[in-house]
Amino acid sequence: MIIIPARLASTRFPNKVLAEIDGKPMVIKTAEAASTIDEVLIAADDETVVKIAEEFGFNAVLTSKSHKSGTDRINEAAARAGLSDDEIIINVQADEPFIETDVIKAVYDLTKSNSLNSNILMNSAYKIIDMENAQNPNIVKVITDASELALYFSRSLIPYPRDTHNEYKAHLGIYGFTRKALSKFCSFSHAPLEHIEKLEQLRTLYHGYKIAMVRVKSESIGIDTPEDLEKAKKRLKG
């Protein structure tokens, strides 16, 4: 199942999940892309989002407003849906209306292949970007080991270019879990690094578990700010 956390109270861009993209709310555009891979459930924090989701034919559930991360929100939605421990759950962010189905499928397949490895708690994806884009703190960077397991995620430029370096790994806002792994993640205490960077995936690394990564090709634009939305609209017109 693909679960999309949709929070209205975004700090940088309030109500962004309802911002119009090509004539439809952003969360609906994201759900339409994801629905070609698996069943979609929208986990909302406001009745307005639930009603809009249902108007467009998507299942939605109202979750607590107190969740501190999207993953905590989808955990509540998964519990309400009564999913089994071995169910594959893909967390696709509501602000990824241009995410390609190939990217979702790659994370789904990676999650399935790692489903029996109890040391790998999460699965995700990255794409290659240049130095200019990597300097944007809204684009999260990741560094990986030889097995494509994440070593660290940061809004800062990592690795630091001591000499010359122009290839960086940009983390995409998509995560894969088994239901059991998702529940375990949400049982952990929040990590200091998670608060500092405002990156929930650092909770996994802090508690000694692994995040498997897969390299993908993607032109997707994550919408973090009103400026990102304008860029996205220009892309549609172009």
pLDDT tens, N- to C-terminus, the chain (238 residues): 999 999 887 767 878 899 888 889 999 999 999 999 999 999 999 999 999 999 999 999 999 998 888 899 999 999 999 999 999 999 999 988 889 999 999 999 999 999 999 999 999 999 999 999 999 998 999 999 999 999 999 999 999 998 888 899 999 989 999 999 999 999 999 999 999 999 999 999 999 999 999 999 998 877 878 888 887 777 767 6
CA–CA separation, 4 and 92 (whole Å): 5
All residues at 6 or more sequence positions from 219 whose CB lies less than 8 Å from its CB, including other chains:
98, 100
Residue carrying structure tokens 């439809």: 24
Neighbours of 165 (CB within 10 A): 12
How far, CA to CA in Å, does 52 sit from each of 23, 86, 104? 13, 30, 23
- CATH code assigned at 80: 3.90.550.10
Other beta carbons within 10 angstroms of residue 197's beta carbon come to 18
What distance in Å separates the CA atoms of residue 209 and residue 89, rounded to the nearest whole number? 18
Number of domains present in the structure of the chain: 1
Q: CA 75, CA 93: separation in Å to the nearest integer?
A: 14
Based on the number of CB atoms within 10 Å of its own CB, is 179 exposed (0-12), middle (13-18) or buried (19 or more)? buried
pTM of the predicted model as reported, rounded to 2 decimal places: 0.91
Would you call 177 helix, strand, or coil by DSSP? strand
Residue 38 belongs to domain spanning: 2-237
